[in-house]
Structure 1
Amino acid sequence: MEPLAAHNISVSVHYGHFVLRDVWCDAGDDGESYEASQDHVAGASTYQIAVRALTHEVELQMRLWPAEPEPEPDGGAWSGWRQLELHCPTGELLVEQITAGAAAEVALPQRAGVYGVRVHGGAIDGTERFLIDLWWQSPLPPDDDDEDFYGDDWS
């Protein structure tokens, strides 16, 4: 199986982490995803994933898949990984650098839905790198109605 799309992104890390989130869900999660990342490479709340980083500049490869891909082989270059879930009502994600804006905005080919996310992290050739695989899992639950997110644009 081949990915639908792949993105290579350079990320500036502030406060020890960066965030992957739905483009409209910017109200924060009161630290829930950051707390969930304790002792892990990443943690999640409903609309946001916090990825912990040790250095100030990291390289990120994001791959979008039509279905859940096979995990990367154990014992590879990755020192840790975690599988999570992310709700994306708009079908657009931001890779957000805390206090520095977005490093990238990524349109998801399958649009709105609940996505499986697997985050791999590690140092490769002296550079901290992350691999994030995303795949569509299911439609959004009824309480994630995206009309609420777009309503302000049209009034």
Structure 2
Amino acid sequence: MSHLLAEHHFVTVASYRLLTLRDQDCDAGVNADHAIDEAAENIAASTGYELYINCAQDLFAITVRIAIWDDEPSIEQQGRTQTGRILTLICPTGELVLDSPTGEALALELPSGSGTYAISVRDEGRTEAIVLRQNVLKQTDTPAGEDLHTAAQRYGGIERYTIDMWRTGR
């Protein structure tokens, strides 16, 4: 059985509907276009040096949970009902940055240190967030509708992502 080494929770707005996770020293964006296209089809993709998550909307804040394990967690430990794709992230320093284009960067440290990590991404609330976004945009267009800022605060966190990571090599 795997053991949870660390867990981080972030709330952020995904500028341009895109989140990235990378080592602080890996910022060249090599093969980014291909990974962004792949993430648009599969929600998440990796260049090996940067993980890309295509979010459903960029109006409401999203919640991101990053769970770092000592070994591959079971499906039950991850809270998944079926096995998803396993991606790879190379982390030369073990200092990660969760980022979004033109958004704020959030830092975290891997307790297992530098190395190669396997990653599984799970999403929740994407469909609900899309529907809410459409409804809010319709309502804010009317004189009696609530303002966009208030609506964005009210519905923040509907869309959620969990990134499970475990070290696979040095």
TM superposition score normalised by structure 2: 0.72
- State the distance in 1 between where 2:113 and 2:123 align: 26
Map 1:17-36 → 2, pairs under 5 A: 17-29=18-30, 30-36=32-38
As a proportion of its length, which structure holds more strand?
Answer: 1
Q: 1:119 corresponds to which residue?
A: 121
- State the distance in 1 between where 2:121 and 2:80 align: 13
CA contact (8 A) 1:32 1:44 kept: no
Map 1:100-139 → 2, pairs under 5 A: 100-102=103-105, 104-123=106-125, 127-139=158-170
- State the distance in 1 between where 2:160 and 2:71 align: 23
CA contact (8 A) 2:12 2:62 kept: yes
Q: 1:83 corresponds to which residue?
A: 86
Q: Which moved more, 1:80-89 or 1:51-60?
A: 80-89
CA contact (8 A) 2:80 2:122 kept: no
Q: 1:92 corresponds to which residue?
A: 95
Higher relative contact order (CA 8 A, sep 6+): 2
- State the distance in 1 between where 2:57 and 2:74 align: 28
Residues 95-151 of structure 1, C-alpha deviation per residue, up to 9 Å, x if partnerless? 00211230x211111111100000001208860000100000011xxxxxxxxxxxx
Flag as ranges the 4+ runs of structure 1 deviating above 6 A.
Answer: none
Q: 1:64 corresponds to which residue?
A: 68
Q: 1:49 corresponds to which residue?
A: 51
Match of 1:109, as an amino acid?
A: P
- State the distance in 2 between where 1:135 and 1:73 align: 16
Residue 15 of structure 1: how far off its partner (Å): 1.3
Q: 1:74 corresponds to which residue?
A: 81
Q: 1:142 corresponds to which residue?
A: none
Aligned identity (percent) is 28
Residue 81 of structure 1: how far off its partner (Å): 4.5
As a proportion of its length, which structure holds more helix?
Answer: 2
Residue 83 of structure 1: how far off its partner (Å): 1.8
CA contact (8 A) 2:67 2:163 kept: yes
Q: 2:40 corresponds to which residue?
A: 38
- State the distance in 1 between where 2:35 and 2:95 align: 19
Secondary structure of the residue aligned to 2:48 is: coil
Q: Which runs of 5+ in 1 are unaligned?
A: 140-155
Q: Which runs of 5+ in 2 are unaligned?
A: 130-157
